[in-house]
Chains A and B, each alone.
Chain A
Amino acid sequence: MGEGIGEGGPLVRGTMGIVIILALLLASLPIIMTYSTLVMTSFANTIVSSPWVKFRFTLENWRLFLEGKLAPTAGIVYTPEDILRFILNTGIVAGGVTLVVLAASVTSAYAFSRMNFFMRSGMMKLLILLHAFPGVALIVGVYAIYVFLNNYIPRDYSIYYSFIFVIIARASLEIPMAIWILKGFFDRVPWELEWATIVDGGSRLTALRTAVLPLVKPGIAAVAIFAFLAGWEDLIYVLVFLPPQEKTLATYIESQLGSGSLETTYLPVVAAAGTLYLIPTIIFFVVTQRLLLETMSGGLKG
């Protein structure tokens, strides 16, 4: 660190700090404004076009949104949408992706870090390559697999199949990077910790559970958050593989803003949907700040 450049150090850093904060504020102003108008609109009785407009606070939009009454002006022949179901769907996909990513990446990262097997370093490189492929590029192939497997699925189970397929397909896109991140964490845990457990009477599994996993917790949490967000925000896989009536928040918002529907949609209600959709991302930033700063402090010599 460039600590202490003479006596002027802290002072210089102080002014620099202010300049940097100002510059950052200026740069992020458009983004902040967009998000704040979105959030404010969801609580207002009309569309908020700038953060300085006076508005009347109301929860009406949220009520309408949660009741699925999205086009209050559309007239009589109108069935409310099952928004709670959409939220649940989003949760299922995001949670499912998280679980699959964790199960696959924790075990394989441990293997990559601890075991010697054929083509280990080659496979690590392959993982990075896999990560470089955008999910959209793979979708044709993934669709082919979907159709192929679908032949063997009884009709009654087809809805479960869709969900499981979406979860696994979406998780596969996240797994390569997750393995990389976790392998780095596992590599930092000395072998001796595991051996100590085994010498002390534990099995290899006990060693993994009691000596290693607690130390890679920050890595597991980071991977879990990334996976959850990937599932939560996914649009294209859900759109392609879930039946049209099974929406998630992302596909629901898309459908509201998509072709033609904009005229009948009451935008403050969509703003409520957008705000809800944002919440995990906000939580993510709050949590990761602490998490990423958290370092593994040692009980190891040195």
Chain B
Amino acid sequence: MVEVRLEGVTKRFGRVTAVNSVNLVFGDGEFTALLGPSGSGKSTILYLVAGIYKPSEGRIYFGDRDVTDLMPNERNIGLVFQNYALYPHMTVYDNIAFPLKLRRTPPEVIRDKVLEVAKFLHISELLDRYPAQLSGGQQQRVALARALVKEPEVLLLDEPLSNLDALLRIKIRSELKRIQKELGVTAIYVTHDQSEALAMADKVVVINRGVIQQEAPPDTIYNEPRNVFVASFIGSPPSNIFPATMDYTEEPCINLPGGTRHCVEEEYAGVLWRMKPSKVIVGFRPEHAEIVENPVDGRPVIVGEVYTVEPLGRENIVTVASEDIHLKVITPPEVRPEAGELVYVAVERGKLMLFDPQTEINLKYIAREWSQGG
């Protein structure tokens, strides 16, 4: 359909900068998730694309068309609001037909289109009801139908599933993805639920305080977070993050909490030699570590004392205290150490992440930029 491009877009509300010089491309027909904590500027970006807000700086393009100064009604977008925003005083049929009525579409055409989209979304039998008589999932589909009936080039969805129960959410999630792919519409999906973003999106954009943190496919976001924020935001429980000092006597080695040392892998060695930071920020995912009795194989190991054990059925979350740092480790159900027990936390080979303490950027990315830069 059309590609959506934001170039240097900034949006300020008085003294608050909700979105800060954002450059983004939402690929044609792609499903992009905008992921970030509450207040990070996700809805603002969506409303900027919709034209409800005007950017304070920067331009917005739909393909080659500069839409920055166009009103929402000149942009051909479908928007599903966080609270659905169905007209309470209109029936489902009238709600869906409304955008077409505003365009002065002939009544017979309206009828056909409404019935078609209703059938597509399995809400044909609801057309005579009022929104208040619908369940959350049904309302959501009506809102989606209203957005789709005008065949928009860009579909914008603002946390449409946030108020549904977990089961319905997972069901509608796949349905939504299917519809989007079938129509081939460019979709931007706002959520603060990372599993939703990772499961549905072709590309995930992580945003914090109005600044883009990372823009990548879901597995890259998960496996190679660009900075400390992404690492600590994604995952459940999120990554363990702690500072550590470096030692460069023979090769770059990290002094891990509890007194152990780990000499870094090849991919980090080069950049560390060049930067020689005296400290780094270390991170690893709870699911990438295990509790072992003897530290033998050259894996990075941290010595600590078991602090709490949370049994979750399928797995346990063990919190280990080492010096003043608390680390979470996901263990199989049968691994259930006693609180106070001395244990070793061994991190899978290659899963230790290192971040520059100043910029908090993953050293891997810094290394990559250098090698690209020559």
Contact = CB atoms under 8 A, between A and B. Distances in A.
Interface of A: 190, 192-193, 195-203, 206, 210-211, 214-215, 296-302
Interface in B250-292: none
A299 B103 contact: no
B117 to A, nearest CB: 14
A210 B132 CA distance: 18
Interface of B: 47, 50-52, 71-73, 77-79, 81-90, 95, 98-99, 102-103, 130-132, 136, 139, 146, 150, 163
Nearest to B14: A116
Given A198-B52, A200-B102, A206-B102, A192 B85 contact: yes
In this complex, which of B85, B87, B89 has the most chain A Cβ atoms within 10 angstroms of its Cβ? B85
20 contacts: A190-B85, A195-B72, A195-B85, A196-B85, A198-B73, A199-B50, A200-B73, A200-B98, A201-B73, A203-B73, A211-B87, A215-B88, A297-B88, A299-B89, A300-B83, A300-B88, A301-B82, A301-B83, A301-B136, A302-B163
Contacts of B88: 215, 296-300
Given A214-B89, A298-B132, A299-B131, A200 B83 contact: no
A278 B150 CA distance: 54
Given A190-B83, A302-B83, 4 more contacts: A192-B82, A195-B81, A211-B87, A299-B86
A211 B146 CA distance: 15
A298 B131 contact: yes
A211 B89 CA distance: 9
Contacts of A302: 83, 163
A258 B85 CA distance: 58
Contacts of A206: 102
Given A196-B79, A200-B98, A200-B146, A301 B139 contact: yes
B139 A193 contact: no
A214 B98 CA distance: 15
A200 B150 contact: yes
Contacts of B72: 195, 198-199
B77 A299 contact: no
B103 A192 contact: no
